[in-house]
Amino acid sequence: MKRLAVYCGSASPEDPRYLELAHEVGAELARRGIGVVYGGGKLGLMGAVAKGAKDNGGEVIGIIPEHLVKAEVANHDCDELVTVSGMHERKQRFTDLSDGFVTIPGGVGTMDELWEAMSWSQLGYHSKPVGLLNAFGFYDHLLAFNAKMAEVGFVRPAHQNILIAATSIHELLAKMESYQPHTPIFRMKAEEL
């Protein structure tokens, strides 16, 4: 993995652990020689991921929609800051530029990015690992919901391991490195659907 898209919030929660976690994720990716592709903002967890990577000599590529440049206060310290027309183009660039996806705590936008990465994997638009860093139990309920969708039958058995979860960045990256792509819907036969 040469580059990973990191999905996270642009907010700064009161609990300092979240910003510390984001900084450590960026730092760890840099230490491993993995570039960061992220939302291009300098606030909140986004900014902490970028700073962690830059502080440790890592590559940082920001992808930010033009209407969010001022709202998210674009990070001009990136190695490359790409301004795009909107969110769809932003997510496509994340996919094009990265070898996988790491989601750390965030809000609605982060969930949008995560679910789209999972959906595109399931369909076959990409075959890259989709990781979820469940630090501090932040995503316990989301993981339970994902399991419920599989239990009820809304997620096919072939696709139940698309989401790779771990509680530490070290464990998550190890799992992502050994990810074996599944059979996407686009290559399934009617009787398998």
CATH number at residue 62: 3.40.50.450
CB distance 80 to 58 below 8 Å? no
pTM reported for the whole predicted model = 0.94
Q: Which domain, by its residues, includes 117?
A: 3-192
Distance CA 40, CA 166 (A): 25
Distance CA 65, CA 86 (A): 5
* 7-64 per-position pLDDT tens digit: 999 999 999 999 999 999 999 999 999 999 999 999 999 999 999 999 999 999 999 9
Q: Cβ contacts of residue 155 below 8 Å, gap of 6+? A: 122, 146, 149
* 126-184 per-position pLDDT tens digit: 999 999 999 999 999 999 999 999 999 999 999 999 999 999 999 999 999 999 998 88
Number of structural domains in the chain: 1
